[in-house]
Structure 1
Amino acid sequence: MKIELNNLAKKWFEEEMYAVKGDFIRFYVRYGGSSPLHDGFSLGISKEEPIEAAVTAIYNDVTYFVEDKDLWYFDGHHLVVDFDEQLDEPIYNYIRD
């Protein structure tokens, strides 16, 4: 599994979550909502340091990560974070390995 962000998504995290050099952004599983992978679960984001990061990606000195305990959610998919300019929010795409 890997994490990829496009330039507009990176900009959104930097502006909306005030992500700066040395920060950590976690993608985690939350109960509620739905996704193409699991009904009843969706992807959440938080600004926090990793405990047991399984996958990381570094963009502009900000580390984006998924904890080991949340890997099941991705079910063999990469996380590709895009950006919807009309909704002004990130879009999460899951691409099969």
Structure 2
Amino acid sequence: MQIHLTNKASEWFHNEMFLEKGDFVRFYVRYGGSSPIQHGFSLGVNKEEPIDLGVLEEIDGIKYFIENRDTWYFDGHDLYVDYNEKLDEPLYEYKKNNG
């Protein structure tokens, strides 16, 4: 699986989370909420360093990642993160990968 972020999404995270080069941003599984791929779970985001790195994407010196223990949530999908200008927040999409 892979993480894909648009430049606008990366810029939003940088500004909202006060990120600097070398920082890590974790996408993690939360109990509750809604998701198109896992009933009863949703995606959370936090600024923290990895313990057991599963997936990594680096953009402008910021490392976006998913821990190995959370990869089940994506169920064969890649994570695509864009920016919703109207709502001023990230937009998450899950697309079935070919692997």
* TM superposition score category, shorter chain reference: over 0.9
Gapped regions of structure 1 (runs ≥ 5): none
Deviation at 1:52, TM superposition (A): 0.5
TM-score, length of structure 2 as denominator length: 0.96
Is residue 2:13 matched to residue 1:18? no
User: What SS class does the counterpart of residue 33 from structure 1 fall into?
Assistant: coil
Number of equivalent positions: 97
Identity of paired residues, percent? 57
Return the letter of the residue paired with 1:58. Answer: E
Q: Distance in 2 between matches of 1:58 and 1:10?
A: 10
Number of the residue aligned with 1:81: 81
Distance 1:95 1:25 in 2: 21
TM-score (normalised: structure 1): 0.98
Stretches of structure 2 lacking an aligned partner (at least 5 in a row): none
The one-letter amino acid of 1:84's match is N
Q: Which runs of 4+ in 1 moved over 6 A?
A: none
Q: C-alpha deviations, 1:56-80, integer Å up to 9, x for none?
A: 0000000000000000000000000
